[in-house]
Structure 1
């Protein structure tokens, strides 16, 4: 029999002396291991006369401990680690690795960063400014959120560029569903027929940030290739909180705060002559009596109340762990009769079924309501911001004694719209998943296991729109006579996967991890929008309207794929990964064709080699990675779309179908993406200072485009694969534990990043997209230019670079010059102070709000004189004078410096609990300081929601807000 001995010991926290439960203890170079029990103790049978144990624990890093037959007791006090290199990151669909061994740039966000500094409104709001390589943009200030997320530049022109979100193995739906208010606003009836102008939220906003333990972001194909079809825009992997063995733990927190507008724009600086010229003697009398009303202040200068209550209960034993969390959020908007309410309940269970089988179950139920008001574009002057542009301070828009509102200058009344309309989203959602791990075979050198995952994301969304017939814009020659909207959306998304993992450890310290598996995703989406016009009195049932119409949108997909991956670790010195993914999709022209996408990466821990003797540079790891992925065509690209129409005939009008103007392509290909990423991670002073630099080049081929169709087809355009895009970028991060002693610590970190895109091949003529018209500014797609180029009509004598399109000049770029965030964490005894600054330099917007106010002659800067080169016209007069002939006034710098969040907290230990129970009090703020030179409420805005090549366009949005919150958290 071979020699062996029993190693044992106790693991405690170096600061508190408390036992650490669940510390992983492994005999280095083997599969032999165990975890510490409720008292922090471990016992492990070790082969041979001596061995090296590797102990690891989340938040504490890894420690190596030598034991032998003559000295088998290995007690250890573990110190919490702030080094980013000690984090564990994903390397595949079922494998992980320490960041110090990873060949990819993977961003991580902790629970503290998400919710323990400030109180974010939604999940996406919590991500803003937290990591490099992404542009996360708020598209609306409306309650309930609305965000656009873009990783490493533009990766498609007409396709979906949002990342794939995965929570505990469940693939999430992040759709945006139009509310149907276009029937009232007719926003899509003008220069842009996009119906996504009605300020709708996206469904990732349903996720409760309080449930989250950590987030990992795979920003490019080099890391995300293994995740398949929907990973071309990156992958956001969310892990929720789970129970820990030991005594039951109860936590309750309460947040209460206020919401205020970031800024107000103010009134035009009126004088008596201007008032009389525009409003007559009655207006002048109001002016002379000091009776002007500031409707901007009445509408937006309000204080909303925000309240968030949170309860967590967790615990378990050696076999069963549980975690229950419930959150109730209720907040007012800064506009009357708007607000957001959400209740979220989560139960996570972990069960050790047998010695070889365990399972993790995650369940989440969400119920939310958002009253979003009526904002953004309108061709009927119906939206609040649009009508405000034509509302004059001498008008009295208050209702009379009978509750009847007078007409405003816009033909609508902003107070009436705010008071009487309903535009509500109601969501009922369930997210559930199970992951089972079966260890099929284990010995000293091998572990073979099988992992299966099943996920379900199912929700119903109800859109309720009530626009009473007494609204002023229905009284003025309107044929609608009031509008009722009843939208009903159901979505069911499932994912199934089965992985086999074989880990082999050699006696020479080389390990091999082989993974192979299959996956299936499916989605069924059904939207039914019922609308009624010419309603009776205060009737709110849409079926009682005189005219009822029904529109239905159905889409579905099934994606199937398999993958294989090999990871090799040579003594923690050389790390190699090779993998391949194969997928097919129903949206591809050939739905049965498999497309193969490889990945490969190499990392070298040079500091692990014997020749490395530097005590200053303690980590030096160059790395390189390559990966490919694909994006299926949009749902309609393969088929000829049909729309309903009325066909006159001898017996009257009959219903029929007509083809739309764009022809489907049965041979359409997916967009393919390849990315080369290389960089280095360098740690100084025992990794107290860590510098990471990443450079990448991403190429997208077979870009989906619209080409001019042959006249004989009966179509105007057709879908083709006809272009290539390229993105090049740099990401640099610095993390520094500047000070750490018994009473005080200071950790600081900085991220800097930039991206540059280029249309490297275009097989159709240059064209504009997004926006409304060239005279107002649009995106320009032209070979050799950035995909984010903004262009527009210019006069013949303009000193502007001309595009390939006649009369169209290049006016700006929506891509930021760079972005930077700076975070700091100070801890002094029981006090903590954290803050995060975010700097976005450049990135232009198309700001059309001032133009609308110019038409109404109410612009806040109407009488300034800094635009007209001749100095003869005021700003308002100048902008109106060049309308239609010069788009330059609408292009503005969208950069800013923003204090994203700041929080100050004090923790008290409760004496009766021997210090195990705590009370934490604090105050925090979000968007407290905002510095920008932008002629509106906030440069973070989008009239077209998450549409990446249109999300730099502003038309009278819901103003953004800042928050101050007070916090109480009790842990028992």
Structure 2
């Protein structure tokens, strides 16, 4: 035996023992060449065997009635994941076992057709239209499917393709303009903010008027869980669902259509069906879009010099000179209108000499006396340009899907990022969804759908008050600069309105939501036309609110920084058992019914705390505050 450490191969030679290094090298290389040749011959042999075991079939798929070619038809080898889709001409070519098998031809709005392969090599397949196409079949309560002509209540169907890859954050925005009689109003223009949906109009003064949302048979929690109290700009629990995961939505408007959900359906019902895997070849889809947003028709304010001149005109018109040519207001005689205007709108220090009052110019850069003496030198700030920006949005999606006639799967991941058109605002969402369906037998089906998401709402105070970014931009005059000469933020000396740039960039306001929506079902056909279905669902939502107002803000300056933190957790368990019967007699007679039992348990917990007196604006943790103002749970 000769063992070569360098090549890690062995060779046996009977009756000979060699010790020469040269002979050792020669025999080893002879052995390697022989092994390589043997391997190549073995691979060629195996390839010929594989070719002998498979063959290729081809064909064309057309519409049975019109004879037109049908592109996109799924051609699947039954019992496997081997498949292909027809091209634009309806043609296909597929390798199949030499022993034969069965091909399944399927397409949306057409009846599936099975064809045994046998010895046939060229197929001509004519698919018949499905009388119960997607346009004619709608989903009502608890997954019941009915033909549209049989539904007496008001139902609106919206397909996911209608809003696919559109820059919308939540499914409620997808309803806007697509469902007749449904009012969709966004409470705020900031990304990720709340949306009000009214299916039947407002029905209550104090209670919620939002419809019931049901995802894959599971009623979910909606509304805003935020406790920060930033006015109309609330968070939106529906933003946790990626709109690109939706296959269709049904809006049950009338009481008769939504009656099966009881009192929860007082304001209507929105049924959401998510996308599932389809039988056929495995698919990988990468989606991306990006865009920009701008605010149009902004206010056109006065310039800084125009604003200062307006102040001068105001005091001149209100306090004309007396007969002696003096400017007298009450008992005070002013040196000039520039001094009077500066004292009125800037409140600087004053000096009185020989009965004449003048203003001492501190040169702070904000409404100095020199600006009133020569308005053309006054600074000019367009606050609209300061707070509005070109906002970018982008969406990334990666999807894996496929399966065979027994098992189908779909895995979708998504990342959505949208900046607000106002500084300091934005929304980010990362999500993933898994759906799996399995036909254990002809009478037993099981499946699951699980969605995970994390949404980050970057919020601003956009209320209609002196601390709101947009309202402050309207209230603060254009002669106030963003910064003083020393680099600190400038403020209106005549009022308490926040500097708009400070209001948009200095506060730290974040709402982060973690969401899990999952359901599992098992369906059994007990006897012909009679099915039992059990569904178990979980809706878990955890929201964390954080807000820190530093000393650079008006509110934070008075208390040496203010921090607020709130947490909310909502866990909703759901179990649904249903027994359904559906039997079609002839062509126009149908007998159907459903018996449902549902158990639901909801556990909610929240906490709220606030503190002031922080050692630094860089330390935002609630525990660092010297004074605990409030704590509730």
On whether the aligned pair clears a TM of 0.5, the verdict is yes
- Tell me if the contact between 1:275 and 1:283 (Cα under 8 Å) persists in the aligned partners: no
2:164 paired with 1:105: no
- The equivalent of 1:436 in structure 2 is 522
Q: Deviations over 1:825-863 (max 9, x none)?
A: xxxxxxxxxxxxxxxxxxxxxxxxxxxxxxxxxxxxxxx
Residue 122 of structure 1: how far off its partner (Å): 2.8
Q: Of the candidates 162, 173, 177, which is equivalent to residue 221 of structure 2? A: 173
**Aligned runs of 1:180-219 on 2, under 5 Å?**
180-181=228-229, 197=231, 199-219=233-253
- The equivalent of 1:684 in structure 2 is none
**Aligned runs of 1:101-250 on 2, under 5 Å?**
101-116=150-165, 118-181=166-229, 197=231, 199-250=233-284
- The equivalent of 1:821 in structure 2 is none
- The equivalent of 1:547 in structure 2 is 627
Task: Call closer, same or farther: CA 1:525–1:283 in 2, change over 3 Å.
Answer: farther
- Tell me if the contact between 1:115 and 1:126 (Cα under 8 Å) persists in the aligned partners: no
- The equivalent of 1:816 in structure 2 is none
2:288 paired with 1:254: yes
Residue 291 of structure 1: how far off its partner (Å): 3.5
Report SS of the residue matched to 1:228: helix
- Tell me if the contact between 2:61 and 2:69 (Cα under 8 Å) persists in the aligned partners: no
Report SS of the residue matched to 2:628: strand
Residue 75 of structure 1: how far off its partner (Å): 5.2
Number of aligned residue pairs: 486
The normalised TM-score by structure 2 is: 0.70
Q: Deviations over 1:59-100 (max 9, x none)?
A: 526799xxxxxxxx995335799x998332124324211223
Larger relative contact order, structure 1 or 2 (CA cutoff 8 Å, min sep 6): 1
- The equivalent of 2:55 in structure 1 is none
Residue 243 of structure 1: how far off its partner (Å): 0.8
In structure 1, how many angstroms separate the alpha carbons of the residues matched to 2:110 and 2:631?
A: 56
Residue 353 of structure 1: how far off its partner (Å): 2.1
Task: Call closer, same or farther: CA 1:398–1:422 in 2, change over 3 Å.
Answer: same
Residue 317 of structure 1: how far off its partner (Å): 1.1
In structure 2, how many angstroms separate the alpha carbons of the residues matched to 1:316 and 1:434?
A: 19
Q: Of the candidates 440, 446, 467, which is equivalent to residue 382 of structure 1? A: 467
- Tell me if the contact between 1:252 and 1:311 (Cα under 8 Å) persists in the aligned partners: yes
Residue 362 of structure 1: how far off its partner (Å): 0.4
Residue 395 of structure 1: how far off its partner (Å): 1.0
Q: Which moved more, 1:278-287 or 1:122-131?
A: 278-287
Report SS of the residue matched to 1:261: coil
Residue 532 of structure 1: how far off its partner (Å): 0.8
In structure 1, how many angstroms separate the alpha carbons of the residues matched to 2:107 and 2:281?
A: 19
Higher strand share: 1
In structure 1, how many angstroms separate the alpha carbons of the residues matched to 2:247 and 2:564?
A: 39
Report SS of the residue matched to 1:367: strand
Q: Of the candidates 127, 130, 142, which is equivalent to residue 77 of structure 1? A: 127
- The equivalent of 1:397 in structure 2 is 482
Task: Call closer, same or farther: CA 1:249–1:292 in 2, change over 3 Å.
Answer: same
Report SS of the residue matched to 2:614: coil
- Tell me if the contact between 2:221 and 2:539 (Cα under 8 Å) persists in the aligned partners: yes
Report SS of the residue matched to 1:223: helix
- Tell me if the contact between 2:188 and 2:232 (Cα under 8 Å) persists in the aligned partners: no
Q: Deviations over 1:867-918 (max 9, x none)?
A: xxxxxxxxxxxxxxxxxxxxxxxxxxxxxxxxxxxxxxxxxxxxxxxxxxxx
- The equivalent of 1:353 in structure 2 is 440
- Tell me if the contact between 2:565 and 2:622 (Cα under 8 Å) persists in the aligned partners: yes
2:606 paired with 1:527: yes
Report SS of the residue matched to 1:322: strand
Q: Of the candidates 277, 291, 294, which is equivalent to residue 379 of structure 2? A: 291
2:166 paired with 1:86: no
Task: Call closer, same or farther: CA 1:77–1:506 in 2, change over 3 Å.
Answer: closer
**Aligned runs of 1:666-685 on 2, under 5 Å?**
none
2:542 paired with 1:493: no
In structure 2, how many angstroms separate the alpha carbons of the residues matched to 1:543 and 1:247?
A: 56
Report SS of the residue matched to 1:217: strand
Residue 534 of structure 1: how far off its partner (Å): 2.3
**Cα RMSD after superposing both structures:** 3.3
- Tell me if the contact between 1:492 and 1:524 (Cα under 8 Å) persists in the aligned partners: yes
In structure 2, how many angstroms separate the alpha carbons of the residues matched to 1:515 and 1:318?
A: 27
Report SS of the residue matched to 1:93: helix
Task: Call closer, same or farther: CA 1:400–1:332 in 2, change over 3 Å.
Answer: farther
In structure 1, how many angstroms separate the alpha carbons of the residues matched to 2:612 and 2:307?
A: 43
- Unpaired runs of 5+ in structure 2? 1-58, 77-81, 87-103, 114-122, 316-340, 343-368
Q: Deviations over 1:772-794 (max 9, x none)?
A: xxxxxxxxxxxxxxxxxxxxxxx
- The equivalent of 1:303 in structure 2 is 390
Report SS of the residue matched to 2:385: helix
Q: Deviations over 1:682-711 (max 9, x none)?
A: xxxxxxxxxxxxxxxxxxxxxxxxxxxxxx
In structure 1, how many angstroms separate the alpha carbons of the residues matched to 2:439 and 2:133?
A: 31
Q: Give the structure with higher Rg (CA).
A: 2
- The equivalent of 1:420 in structure 2 is 506
- Tell me if the contact between 2:387 and 2:473 (Cα under 8 Å) persists in the aligned partners: no
Report SS of the residue matched to 2:481: coil
- Unpaired runs of 5+ in structure 1? 1-8, 23-36, 42-54, 65-72, 183-196, 554-972
